[in-house]
Amino acid sequence: MADPRLRQAVELFNSAAWYECHDSLEEIWHETQGPMRPVVQGILQIAVAHLHLERGNRRGATVLLGEGVGRLLHSGGPEPLGLRIESLLGPARARLAALQEGREVSALPAPRLEEALQERR
- Integer Cα distance of 58 and 99 in angstroms: 7
Q: Check residue 121 and give its pLDDT.
A: 38
Task: Locate all alpha helices (DSSP H) within 32-84, ordered by sequence.
Answer: 37-54, 58-73
Domains for the chain: give ranges and CATH numbers.
4-120 (1.10.3450.10)
Block means of pLDDT (10 residues each) for the chain, 121 residues, are 86 96 94 92 97 96 97 82 90 97 95 75 38
Instruction: Report CA dihedral (88, 11, 40, 27) to the nearest 10 degrees.
Output: 160
Instruction: Specify which residues 115 forms β-bridges with.
Output: 83
Does the pTM of the predicted model rise above 0.85?
Answer: yes
pLDDT score of 23: 93
